[in-house]
Structure 1
Amino acid sequence: MLAGKQILLIIGGGIAAYKSLELIRRLQDQGAAVTPVLTKAGEEFVTPLSVSALAGVAVHRDLFDLTTEAEMGHIQLSRSADLVVVAPATADLLAKMAHGLANDLASTLLLATDTPVLLAPAMNVRMWEHPATQRNTETLRQDGVAFVGPNAGGMACGEFGPGRMAEPDEMVASISAHFGSGALARRRILVTSGPTHEPIDPVRYIANRSSGAQGAALARALRDQGAEVVFITGPAEVAPPEGVDVVPVQSALEMEAAVQAALPVDAGVFAAAVADWRVASASDRKLKKSKDGLPVLEFAENPDILKGVSQMSSGRPSLVVGFAAETNDVVENATAKRLRKGCDWIVANDVSPATGIMGGAENAVVLISDQGAEEWPRMEKAEVARQLATRIAAALDGAP
């Protein structure tokens, strides 16, 4: 998949540096050659010997190495690779890149390179969320630097939140996508996500409880496998991922129109929590309390977007995946839903309050297809997304 590609891997200083060792192995398994650069801080977490042994070449550590610098080694290193990967990309490295500092080998390489750069941030959640880090990240994105992660989850410091470095498989998928060689390269996939808001009047609406976290994770995972992703999202709490075609909507009617406009696609993944009903005649003025009693709201049924796409007579996607959020009889209800809608798969989960799944960072799903019900263990939503993206790639393999 990555045969003949030259990867310059810069290993920053952080506990996540141990993942860089596995990343080297995974890249080599894909046919890539890895040239490692280890920062002084990185040496506190992984040894030059282990990095060099896995890469099969000498590890570069010092800007003032007389042997290599006699031949302008840092310039040669910075421009000989097909891609520069920084993993972990610490807050310090992000700051140096954003401000053009070059006081060690890693930062000098990053300033001198004209090669595309992919960063895998890793740091404490407070460091990641700090305004300075967010400013630096935005600057780098505007400069054309690509990112993979960070993910949310538990950290070595005991805190929980965004800041964990992406997993090696996720990084390999992003690297493959960069070269247009991911498992979903040249595939166009539609993902719906988030809730819909159905207006009652200009200030009130009806909605489902959905953060959009699982849908955003799916769009990110599909993108990382090389797909062109059309991401149609309601007003979600979670921001959409970078590198996808984002189509924001509010209501079910708007989402249906956006879905129709996005077709044709190779696969459709319908993770949005679409409201089943809307107010038939929403008021154009705020409804006021009245001595005559409560206002009477008449409801109309919203379009069934999943069913409509699943039962298209022509131009139907090769794979249609629906989601079922249930509070009881999960498998039975979701199985019936799949047959009723006509989709290929249903991803079902139990969202009753005791599970903590609705709005949480984890999910426990059952994948229902014509092969039956396959229960997956509880895991982070990002991992659910990665596994589902892999299944989608396998299902589309060989499809026209």
Structure 2
Amino acid sequence: MSGPTGIEDLLRTYAPQVLGVLVRRYGTFDTCEDAVQEALIAAARQWPGEGVPENPRGWLVTVASRKLVDQVRSEAARRRREDALALATPDSELLAHAADEEPGSDRDDSLALLFLCCHPDLSPPSRIALTLRAVGGLTTAQIAAAFLVPESTMAQRISRAKQTIKAAGGSLTLPPEDRTARLAEVRHVLYLVFNEGYTASGGDELTAPELSTEAIRLATLLHRLLPEDTETAGLLALMLLTDARRPARTGPHGELVPLAEQDRGRWDGRLVAEGVALISRTLPRGQVGPYQLQAAIAAVHDEAETAQATDWPQILALYELLERTGPNPMITLNRAVAVAMVHGPAAGLALLDELARDKRTARHHRLLATRAHLLELLGDRETAAEVYREAARRTTSAPERRHLTERARRLG
């Protein structure tokens, strides 16, 4: 734990716990979050040279609390707020909260903090940014780099999100009737973070591994906090089974390698085994939801020794069930591929014709790329090449553009 990476991992583990303590104590999310960030920076500077404290969580809580008191006292324009906070928590009273700073303290507000960061008043991008900053412990610069936006832009997004939370009350207390809806939002945010990391929507790199890794870490945390929630387990299994293929997704020059052409010997066998075991334990336990079904599909792919050995009829059956539980154009797009593998490319193309009439997908590059692939399977090389080129023009991902252009070139 003495190396920088170990300390960074430790800080990110404790970040949501420490922020939860401060928000529970003081109820001011925006200033508490700033104070925790300062404490994390202080630890990142001190611990490598001085060593990790015996009680790192308590150290961070104490330092963050002092930073918060100092911060409030320095704002003359907020004197009334300072007086209220000083009366509640003078320096001498920091010890009154010793339970939060004692080694082995088991109160963890991470789940409540996740719910707060996914407040319904926030837009999806703001929920993602605030979750990565407040719960993930990432700096604004790290989040901005991962999403390919200027740091100033991300800072403004996070600041607006914190002000929205403040205006909404910023409480860790969630009415029981809101828990189910908010939990669904939390899962969706983590799903979006993972997907952006696994296939970046723009830029020169195909993936942003730090985002996928963080999504898996947070999904693992959520599963630990809610072990009986089957959809959370399904989401984590889906991430593990998908991320297992990452080492084989790109070639030596960063080029995209499609699933059917990947060297399966490079897949992460440990992640595959972990994901398969998790979804196998989860599926028989109750109502099956979309994340569990997607994880089951990923498991069928990952357990096939070769692309040719893939159980496409089983995958098609799972996609048909998935489409009934939550209709979505991208699910239909993937089902079209499964239909093509089971019933022939012409049957898959007929499904794509339906999607072409849907405004949400009509001009999407993935619809065109799938159409080109099925036309190629059908033997219509000339039309397939033309559609590949059109798909390449529409994507914002440089690796995908190069891949689609190369596909078109091969077909002549």
Give the TM-score taking structure 2 as reference length. Answer: 0.30
- Of Structure 1 and Structure 2, the greater strand share is in 1
Give the TM-score taking structure 1 as reference length. Answer: 0.31
